[in-house]
Structure formats: C-alpha cells, structure tokens
Amino acid sequence: MGNSKDLALESAALAKLANGFDPTERANFRRLGFKAWLEDQLNPKKPENEFVTTAMANFVASNLSLAKTAKTFPYSAKKGTVGDEVIQTTILRRLYSSRQTYETLVEFFNDLIPVPVTVDTISRIQYDRDVIRANALGHYPDMLLASSRAPGMLYYLNGATNTRKHPNENYGREILELFTVSTKYPYVQADVVTAAKVLSGIGWSRASMSLVVNPKNHFQGPVSLLGWSDPNPGNTVGQILATSESMIRHLALLPATAQAFSHRMARRYVSDNPTDALISAMAKTYLATNGHIPSVLKTMAFSAEFASSGGGKLKRPSEYLNSTVRALGLRLSGPIQAGDPTAPFYFAGSPLGAIQKQLSVQGHEPFRWPFPNGYPDNEQAWTTMTGQVQRWNLSASLAQGLRGTGFSTVDYRSMLPATAKTPDAITTALATRIFGAPLPPDDHKTIVALVSKADISKPGIDNISVWASTATSLFFARPEWNLR
C-alpha cells in the first residue's frame, strides 16, 4: 500500500464494504490485499470474533426458534422485547463483527425486502436470521422465496389474509415493484392480481408457529404473468407451494430483476447515481450465477467505478456512527446484561440502548422504516438539519468521552507519542494515527487554531487530553468524514 491510488481503494473499500475501518480491519486489508480481503469477508465460514460471540450469547431470543420464543416469557407477553433484541444485536454486529461485509449485506437486504419491527414483532428475529442472514451469502431467489413464506412478511404485506375469493394485492404488487422487476418493467394490474392469486391460501398459524397452506383458500386454475405460466391445479399443499415457488423463482431471475437488483446494490455501495455500464455488468453476473449475491457484489467491488467512487456518497446515520466509533476504537461503555431477559432493565440498562436511541433521533434505527421500500438511500434525503447537528454533537460527545453515548472514552495518552506536546503536534499525530495521514493543510490549520484556544487553566487539567479531544471532536465533524 504505497501509492495514492491504493490508499483511495483501501479507504473506499473499508468505508463501503465494511462499517468503516478500525485498526484491525485496516491491517487485515493491507496484509491480504483487496481481492483476498473481500474473499475472506465473503467466506460463509469466516469465524466471528470472541467479543461478538460472547455478547450474542447474552441475548436469549436470538438463540431460540420462533416456536420456542413464542412460548418463553417474557417474549410471549412483552411484544417489544424481541424488537429491542433484534435492533440491539444488529447494532452490536455492525459495530464489532469480524464479518463486516456480511453485515453490510444484511443491512442491504433488510432494506430491499424489509419487514418493520412493529409488524408481528415476535418473528422479527426469525426474519433477520432465517431469511436475511441465512441467504445473504447465497442466492437472491432463495432469499426472496424464504421471505415470501416468513410470518413477518406474510403479516406485513397481508399474504396471511390473501384468499382465492378476495386476493389481497399488497404483496402481489410489491413483489413486482420493489422485490423483483420494478416499475421500469411494464407489468399491469392483472399481473399484480395474478401474483396475489398464485400466493393465495399460503398463510401462517400463530398457534403452531408454522406455515399453513389451505387449498380451499387458493385460487385454482391456469395462471400466467411476465412470461411464466402454470396450470396451477392447487389441489394439494405441495402443488400450491410448488407453483408459488416456480413463480417467485421465475420473477427473481428475470433480466429486469437483475437490473433492478443491481441498481439497488450499486446505489447502496457505490454512489447515488451508478452508471448503466456498472449496473449492466452486475446484472450480467446476476443472471449468469442465478442471483448469487457474493458474485454480483464482487463484480461491483472489482470495477473501476467502485475503485474511484470513494468520498462520493453521503453516509447514512448508522454508517456515520459505526465508522466514527470504529475509527476511534471505542468499546461499549459497559457489559450487556447477561442471561435474564425478565430483568426489568434487560435492555434499558444496556449501552446498546443509548446507541439505539441516538439512531432513533436521526431517523435511522434499524427496522423502523414503515414502508416496504426500505430506508432512503440518497444524499438529499439525509442532508437534514437534524442530521448535521446530531453528527456534530455525536462527534463531540464521543471525542470528549461524555456520558450517555453507550461507548467507552478515548485514552488519548495511549494514542499519542510522548513527543506530541503542542496543539499542532497533537493534531498531526492524532490525524495520522486515526486516518493514516495528516489532515489537508487548511483544515489542519483551522483546527489547530481552535485547539490552541482551549481553556486549560483549571487546576489539575490534563492539557494533552483537552487538546486531543478538542481536535478529535472536529475531525469527525468534517464534511469529508460524512462521505464515503
């Protein structure tokens, strides 16, 4: 890693294919090189680190089947408990997982085929684990099929009440518009109804916590849409499931789906306006691999467009928080309470609760977007007064080690060489340590001027830490840090 092109690629890759760099990940990247690093990240067998593994063991419902969860107090009685758990484990893994690219994919798919946490909350862990996480390194058609049969999605888009007599179009519409071909494909209302008919009678039983297929509620007879047709006898559970699977796989592998999927993915990782050439290259891989997610991601990641895209896309609030915390090497401020989910402050007392709240204020708490199109993913949507002020405040809080952030304080002394004793030297040393290089001269000068004005007159004050925290507060307030 010598030249500026390599550094640009490193910084783009760690900002886009991970939740930002931390010292460990940067070392991994430099040791392996981009290709091998990404292959390692996408290895389904890549082990999780000990911290996350141990922390995850504290969460009870995450380690139970849905049926078991529903029978276990307090999940059986307190609706929000599973919701808080899936949100907090998501935050935890985005921040600290060794499988960073995987976590970014999990986020991507939770926006692509989303189920809000408020819908059938008890099953939200199941959706995240058995639909999204189980398939994020696999094939999109498999994930889409699993999603169509998950209780969360069945309740969210009304598949659970979609019947032969009155097809409920909600899911039928969104599977075309949002999950497969998109409105660029000229499908018509009749196609929406057909999709609903094919899926009619496939519902969910809360009593047995399992899929129920009722031939009485299934529309029977020939069906066709978008180049697919099926006699759809629909007399047996097996026939109904086979027909619906056939339709979903057909839709998921249409060229228009490959385009729409690739566009969404490129917009997420590369820029708000990816080129048609990149989208087409990704779509080609998608079709050649039957929607193999890591393959499409690699086509994107190894493109010239990706390599030169660093600094062009605004981080969403969660990415800002994650990347800042990782760059500073912060840990959680305290332990995640272990074991007993019936304890009154099982979640409220956890440092993850404070982080959850911070994301909520910024409008980016995991799984809270109420609509099936996922959180917005463009610069204008997130350039808000709240966003700017909250990020400046967060930067200041983390750098100064204020209470209530959910994170540990920075030990500046350990980050600085003993020779760094002036505002100028401290600013240079810290920037080099954190970002790998000093700041641009103008910004450096501006920040040093402010640091030099810091009040260090209080008796016993540690002037080195005051200078360092003042400088660091501004490092992460810079507009460039908000871009990736």
Partner 1 sequence: MNHKNCGCEEFQELERGFSRRGFIGSVLAVGGGLLLTDASGLQYAMAATGDTNTDVVITISMRGGMDGIMAVQPLGSPRLRTLRPNLSFDDSATLSLDNHFGLHRNLKAFKTLYDQGELAVVHAVGTPVGTRSHFDDQNSLELAAYNNPGLASGWQNRYLTEVGATDVLAGISTTRQRPVTFMGPASAAVFENTQDVVIQGLEAVKRTDYLNVLRDLHSKNTHQWGRTAAATITSAERLAKVDSATNVVYPATILGNRLKVLASLIKSGIPVKTANVDFGGNLDVHSDAGPLTGTMANNFTDLSESIAAFKADIAQDWKRVTIVTITEFGRRLQENASAGLDHGWGSAMFVTGGGVKGGKVIANWPGLEDANLRDGDLAVTLDYRHVLAEVMRYRGGMTSANLSNILPDFKPSDLGLVRNIV
Binding site for partner 1 (CB under 8 A): 157-158, 161, 163, 165-166, 168-170, 173, 177-178, 183, 189, 192, 314, 361-364, 370-371, 373, 375-376, 379-390, 392-393, 396-397, 400, 442-443, 446-447, 449-450, 453-456, 466, 469-470, 473-474, 477-480, 482-483
CB of 441 to partner 1, least distance (A): 12
CB nearer to partner 1: pick between 135 and 472:
472
CB of 162 to partner 1, least distance (A): 8
CB nearer to partner 1: pick between 176 and 352:
176
CB of 2 to partner 1, least distance (A): 28
CB nearer to partner 1: pick between 46 and 444:
444
CB nearer to partner 1: pick between 381 and 415:
381
Provide the residue type at 263 as one letter. Answer: H
**Joined tokens for residue 176:** 């075309």
How far separated are the first and last CA of the chain, in Å rounded? Answer: 19
CB nearer to partner 1: pick between 52 and 434:
434
What distance in Å separates the CA atoms of residue 199 and residue 193, rounded to the nearest whole number? 10
CB of 342 to partner 1, least distance (A): 29
CB of 193 to partner 1, least distance (A): 10
CB of 360 to partner 1, least distance (A): 9
Tell me 3's DSSP state: S
Question: How many angstroms separate the Cα of 472 from the Cα of each of 343, 415, 429, 467?
Answer: 38, 12, 11, 9
CB nearer to partner 1: pick between 112 and 293:
112
CB nearer to partner 1: pick between 24 and 161:
161
CB of 460 to partner 1, least distance (A): 14
CB nearer to partner 1: pick between 146 and 154:
154
What distance in Å separates the CA atoms of residue 98 and residue 51, rounded to the nearest whole number? 10
CB of 132 to partner 1, least distance (A): 21
What distance in Å separates the CA atoms of residue 298 and residue 303, rounded to the nearest whole number? 8
Which helix (H) or strand (E) segment is 202 a member of? strand 202-205
What distance in Å separates the CA atoms of residue 116 and residue 110, rounded to the nearest whole number? 9
CB nearer to partner 1: pick between 41 and 469:
469
CB of 382 to partner 1, least distance (A): 6
Provide the residue type at 374 as one letter. Answer: G
